[in-house]
């Protein structure tokens, strides 16, 4: 108990615990609801949702030019506010542009995706992109001011809203629309909550905003749209292009099995990794600006993440197939087998994800982008090559998982290596 009190009094661990608690609840809700959803919806419904979410991630990740990730960096609150306004404006313009693309090229997009069930949802996609981008901007603003309780409440609100409405529409028998509409409503409620906190945080700066101040941060932080945005896009393409390839090479049912596997196995990353990453970004940037070394802290954190997570992922590797059958029904045993295959990737992704914000702090976005470009292209080549060897779906996913695990391992080594050459200010 004394050790727990000592750890909790440490601001860094206290903030992580706050976010971890909220993230645990927010992840636990859909996990508990999943057995019900798998009985209300069909695998192809999850396949359509997975395709929709992959498109959402693809466009939302670059809709702001990634300027929102610079909000934490400046010492000046006015400069941070200008970055948030710039991010919101770019997101709005990007969403309108996306709507125009959908209207003009609707039929061609549907045909190229080989999934006609997506249909009318393409018209809703720009709204989802705008809402998702706003959430990211507002959360990073709250993160700057260490308002972790607000971030925690928002995650619980979003998760519970999405799950509740998905179940509600499923009980009504609206199989084709329930999953996507439920997600849309949950994101809308999340934005309503966050915008109030955003106005509270920056209320004293609204009158001082000007075009010149926005243009100033547009130029000052141009490395984010130049390197960070393409980097983020590549990461999303690498992960979500696999979804497009599964749709192309296999079918919606296979995609549905894969989608549930990814949703469940990546939960630990969101549960702990995102909590650590949010607090770590604010702490390490502060230490870096003050001229403190962040190398030893990063090394210790990496070791702790690996040692503490290894037993969990070993259990998932051994028992996921029987666990999925028990929780979701016998027909979902396929998802359990896929989950076991994905363990090498997710394990090292869990370790690399929290510290992947460090290149932003030490201004190594360009080098990080080049490294990711090489591995992302190679990972897609591995998946496609495995398919054309005329092996089954499991073989392709296995090769992809092993290579992605190697990718994440190299990222960790590169970040630690780069920190050795960061001079104190």
Q: Same domain for 208 and 226?
A: no
Q: Are residues 189 and 260 in the same domain?
A: no
Residue of 310, 287, 275 whose CA lies nearest to 20: 275
C-beta of residue 265 within 8 angstroms of C-beta of residue 343: yes
pLDDT interval class at 4 (50, 70, 90): very low
**Which residue, 103, 39, 383, is CA-closest to 244?**
383
Tell me: do 85 and 97 sit in the same domain.
yes
Give the pLDDT of residue 425. Answer: 43
Tens digit of pLDDT for each residue in 375-395?
878 887 888 887 777 777 888
Q: How many domains does the chain have?
A: 2
Report if residue 147 sits inside a domain: yes
Instruction: Answer whether residue 2 is part of any domain.
Output: no
Asked if residue 5 belongs to a domain, the reply is no
Q: Are 379 and 403 in contact (CB under 8 A)?
A: yes
**Tens-digit pLDDT profile for residues 187-238:** 999 999 999 888 888 878 787 788 888 999 999 988 888 888 887 887 777 7
Distances (CA, A) of 109 to 42, 101, 126, 349: 24, 9, 14, 31
Whole-number Å distance between alpha carbons of 69 and 90? 14
In a domain, 351, yes or no: yes
For the stretch 86-121, pLDDT in tens is 999 999 999 999 999 888 887 777 776 655 566 677
Pair 210, 268 in one domain: no
3-class state of residue 349 by DSSP = helix
Position 410 scores a pLDDT of 93
Same structural domain for residues 172 and 318?
A: no
Distance CA 37, CA 407 (A): 33
Choosing from 178, 199, 221, the residue where a domain stops is: 221
Question: Which DSSP helix (H) or strand (E) runs through 116?
Answer: none
For 216, 256, 327, the CA distances from 38, given in Å and listed in that order, are 50, 10, 10
Which residue range(s) make up the domain with 237?
222-425
Residues 334, 257 contacting (CB under 8 angstroms): yes
Check whether residue 252 and residue 383 sit in a common domain.
yes
User: Which candidate, 313, 327, 321, places its Cα nearest to that of 34?
Assistant: 327
Please name which of 135, 144, 172 lies closest in space to residue 26, comparing C-alpha atoms. 135
Same domain? For 195 and 243 the reply is: no
Do residues 242 and 368 share a domain?
Answer: yes
- What is the rounded average pLDDT for all residues in the chain? 82
Does the pLDDT value for residue 2 go beyond 50? Answer: no
9 within a domain of the structure (yes/no): no
Q: Does 255 share its domain with 191? A: no
Which of 221, 251, 267 is at the close of a domain? 221
Q: How far apart, in whole angstroms, are the C-alpha atoms of residue 224 and residue 321?
A: 41
Give the E-state strand segments of 310-353 in sequence order.
none
What pLDDT does residue 424 have? 47
- Record the tokens describing residue 165, joined without a space: 């409405």
Q: What is the pLDDT of residues 260-309, one digit of tens each?
A: 888 777 766 666 777 777 778 878 888 887 778 888 888 888 898 889 88
Neighbours of 298 (CB within 10 A): 19
Tell me what pLDDT residue 93 has.
95
Residue 418 maps to a domain:
yes
Structure-token match 């192309």, residue found: 248
Res 8 pLDDT > 60 = no
* Same domain as 336, residue 262: yes
Residues 216, 226, single domain; the answer is no
Q: Could you identify the residue written with the tokens 């290596």?
A: 417
Q: How many other C-beta atoms can be found within 10 angstroms of the C-beta atom of residue 65?
A: 21
| Domain closes at, from 182, 201, 221 | 221
**Do 160 and 268 sit in the same domain of this protein?**
no
For residue range 126-174, what is the model confidence (pLDDT) as tens digits? Answer: 999 999 999 999 998 998 888 888 888 888 899 889 888 988 888 887 7
Residue 422 forms part of a structural domain: yes
Q: What integer pLDDT is reported at residue 177 of this predicted model?
A: 76
Angle between the N-to-C axes of helices 333-355 and 295-328, in degrees from 0 to 180, rounded to the nearest 10? 170
What per-residue confidence (pLDDT) applies to 114?
59
Least confident stretch, 78-82, 165-169, 211-215, 239-243: 239-243
| pLDDT per residue as tens digits for the range 297-356 | 888 888 988 898 888 889 888 888 888 888 777 778 888 888 898 888 888 988 888 888
Least confident of 70-79, 118-127, 310-319, 406-415: 118-127
DSSP letter for each residue of 199-262 = HHHHGGGGGG--HHHHHHHHHHTTHIIIIIHHHHHHHHHHHHHHHHHHHHHS-HHHHHHHHHHH
Phi, psi of 107 (to 5 degrees): -60, -40
37 CB contacts (<8 Å, ≥6 apart)? 166, 167, 170, 179
Residue 8 lies in a domain: no
């Amino acid at each position: 108990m004394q050790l727990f009190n000592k750890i909790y009094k440490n601001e860094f661990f206290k903030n992580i615990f706050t976010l971890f608690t909220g993230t645990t609840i927010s992840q636990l809700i859909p996990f508990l609801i999943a057995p019900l959803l798998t009985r209300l919806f069909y695998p192809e419904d999850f396949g359509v949702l997975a395709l929709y979410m992959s498109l959402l991630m693809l466009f939302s990740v670059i809709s702001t030019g990634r300027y929102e990730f610079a909000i934490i960096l400046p010492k000046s609150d006015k400069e941070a506010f200008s970055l948030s306004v710039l991010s919101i404006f770019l997101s709005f313009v990007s969403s309108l542009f996306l709507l125009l693309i959908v209207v003009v090229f609707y039929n061609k997009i549907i045909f190229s995706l080989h999934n006609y069930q997506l249909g009318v949802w393409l018209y809703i996609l720009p709204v989802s992109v705008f809402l998702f981008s706003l959430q990211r901007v507002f959360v990073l603003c709250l993160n700057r001011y260490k308002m972790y309780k607000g971030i925690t409440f928002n995650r619980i609100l979003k998760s519970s809203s999405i799950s509740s409405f998905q179940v509600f529409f499923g009980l009504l028998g609206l199989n084709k629309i329930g999953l996507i509409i439920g997600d849309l409503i949950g994101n809308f409620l999340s934005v309503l909550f966050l915008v109030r906190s955003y106005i509270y945080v920056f209320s004293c700066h609204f009158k001082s905003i000007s075009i010149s101040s926005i243009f100033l941060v547009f130029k000052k932080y141009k490395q984010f749209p130049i390197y960070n945005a393409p980097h983020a896009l590549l990461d999303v393409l690498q992960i979500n292009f696999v979804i497009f390839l599964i749709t192309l090479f296999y079918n919606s049912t296979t995609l549905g099995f894969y989608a549930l596997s990814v949703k469940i196995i990546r939960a630990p990353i969101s549960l702990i990794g995102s909590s650590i990453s949010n607090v770590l970004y604010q702490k390490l940037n502060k230490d870096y600006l003050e001229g403190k070394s962040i190398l030893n802290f990063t090394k210790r954190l990496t070791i702790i993440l690996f040692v503490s997570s290894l037993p969990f992922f070993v259990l998932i590797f051994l028992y996921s197939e029987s666990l999925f059958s028990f929780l979701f029904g016998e027909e979902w045993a396929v998802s359990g087998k896929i989950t076991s295959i994905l363990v090498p990737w997710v394990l090292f992704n869990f370790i690399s994800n929290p510290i992947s914000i460090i290149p932003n702090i030490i201004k190594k976005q360009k080098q990080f982008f080049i490294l990711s470009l090489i591995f992302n292209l190679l990972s897609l080549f591995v998946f496609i090559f495995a398919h054309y060897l005329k092996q089954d779906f499991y073989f392709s996913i296995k090769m992809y998982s092993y290579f992605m695990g190697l990718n994440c391992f190299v990222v960790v080594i590169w970040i630690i290596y780069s920190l050795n050459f960061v001079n104190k200010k």
